[in-house]
Amino acid sequence: MIKKILIANRGEIAVRIIRACREMGIQTVAVCSQADKTALHAQLADETICIGPAPSSESYLNVSRIISATLCSGADAIHPGFGFLSEDSRFAKICEKCNITFIGPTAEMMAQAGNKAEAKRTMQEAEVPTIPGSAEAVTSVVKGKKLALKAGYPVMIKASLGGGGKGMRVARNEENFEQAFVTAQKEAKNAFGDASMYIEHYIEHPKHIEVQILADKFGHVVHLGERDCSIQRNHQKLIEETPCESLSPELRKAICKAAVKAAKAVNYENAGTVEFLLEPNGNFYFMEMNTRIQVEHPITEWVTGIDLIKEQIKIASGQPLSFGQNDVVIRGHSIECRINAEDPDKKFRPCPGTIADMYLPGGPGVRVDSAIYSGLVIPPYYDSMLAKLIVHASTREEAVRKMQMALGEVIITGIKTNVDYQYELVNHPDFINGKTDIDFIEKLKKSES
């Protein structure tokens, strides 16, 4: 069993991992930048090592410093959390070479599943439904135009590597293809260091459905149900829930079966998420595979009773899954809202600063994953997410009301947040009635202008 874990991350996910390790009797090592010396994760871990200046490139993305901190601390494993180096196959490979257990898939699995073009080819071979589009990555506008005509406009232009909505543009016709391609490619190059793109038919008004999977080293793969992640702004998820009310039992079975098939196609190991686009007519298509723990994992934990972080650690330690597919039972409904330090009135501009005072809700069926406290300085260098507010109830109707109540109780002063904006979303009639898709936010913008 792993005895000591270095957490190569910050914020609420680092705190979440530390708590899971404590419950398992595992020692923890936190890394922090100079800007994060007073951060909660740096205070809660058994050991803390400052690895560099505030910019991510000099700290949380600095592989050599993270590996050095791991070796110096005597940690035998690294948990990457999400973001930063969590989907960097090169980092996973270096861990393997240094005899450090990487809590996630192997570098080979990550490279195969994380590269969108390669993953799409693999899924087609495994007969998992895929969106019509390019079978391989492209770097030239001329070739891209030919593929766009073949896939059929409108098309989505996406970076082959990376995620988080970066390097993505929609071209609705041949006239605006070149500008969209060049813009997305430049963004991808700056964000991920890779200018290869792929092109696929753009599906109008779909739902974004993802399936949580767990796979051990012995070929056992199970799914833990689906999550509806359709409410997004600029391809960034805002609200997630499980189960998806739009799925019939037959469709749920089919999409979850496809996710397991996808994981087996790449011989996947550890926790991962298979993402699909669901058309209004019920057709669904593989979109991508995330080779890490997801931000929204708490809602799955709540409806299944399975601790995903602990399962990740057990799998990385070489243990087989202690349960089978028939043991996974979905109970009730869970919703998560992401609380960000941003100003909705100023185009959601990030709002770093000092938290003057705060109150976070509690009570039955309410969970808050965060790393914030009164007096904490929110630095301007990292993702703006402050906390995740999660609720659980017997039915979706009850869960919606509980989220409305919980958001209404949140108090964070000293900085701007999106709490009021989230409150408006969960009180919107379309959300209450479950009539949302990935265009929900855009429709709201148009109706307000």
Asked whether the beta carbons of 180 and 169 are under 8 A apart, the reply is yes
Residues 6+ apart with CB under 8 A from 307: 20, 301
- What is the number of other CB atoms lying within 10 angstroms of the CB of residue 433? 10
Asked whether the beta carbons of 349 and 134 are under 8 A apart, the reply is no
Using left for φ > 0, alpha for ψ between -120 and 50, and beta otherwise, residue 204 falls in beta
Place of tokens 């969106």: 131
Instruction: Spell out the domains of the chain, with CATH numbers in brackets.
Output: 4-103 (3.40.50.20), 132-201 (3.30.1490.20), 207-448 (3.30.470.20)
Q: What is the 3-state secondary structure (H, E, C) of 198-231?
A: EEEECCCCCEEEEEEEEECCCCCEEEEEEEEEEE
Q: Which of 10, 169, 233, 292 is catalytic?
A: 292
Query: 423: exposed, middle or buried (C-beta count within 10 Å: 0-12, 13-18, 19+)?
Result: middle
CA distance linking residue 403 with residue 391, whole number of Å: 6
Structure tokens at 289: 């595979």
Q: Please name which of 275, 259, 237 lies closest in space to residue 328, comparing C-alpha atoms.
A: 259
Structure tokens at 225: 């149900």
Residue type, 27: Q
Q: Please name which of 363, 356, 210 lies closest in space to residue 276, comparing C-alpha atoms.
A: 210
- State the sign of the Cα–Cα–Cα–Cα dihedral 26, 32, 38, 40: negative
Each residue's pLDDT tens digit, 301-314: 999 999 999 999 99
Asked whether the beta carbons of 291 and 110 are under 8 A apart, the reply is yes
CA distance linking residue 6 with residue 67, whole number of Å: 9
CA distance linking residue 167 with residue 161, whole number of Å: 9
Q: Please name which of 374, 382, 384 lies closest in space to residue 354, comparing C-alpha atoms.
A: 374
Instruction: Please give the chain's pLDDT, 449 residues, in tens.
Output: 899 999 999 999 999 999 999 999 999 999 999 999 999 999 999 999 999 999 999 999 999 999 999 999 999 999 999 999 999 999 999 999 999 999 999 999 998 887 776 888 899 999 999 988 887 889 999 999 999 999 889 999 999 876 667 889 999 999 999 999 999 999 998 878 889 998 989 988 999 999 999 999 999 999 999 999 999 998 899 999 999 999 999 999 999 999 999 999 999 999 999 999 999 989 999 999 999 999 999 999 999 999 999 999 999 999 999 999 999 999 999 999 999 999 999 999 999 999 999 999 999 999 999 999 999 999 999 999 999 999 999 999 999 999 999 999 999 999 999 999 999 999 999 999 999 999 999 988 887 76
Is 292 in the active site? Answer: yes
Structure tokens at 425: 């979303």
CA distance linking residue 102 with residue 90, whole number of Å: 12
Pairing of strands 385-393, 333-340: antiparallel
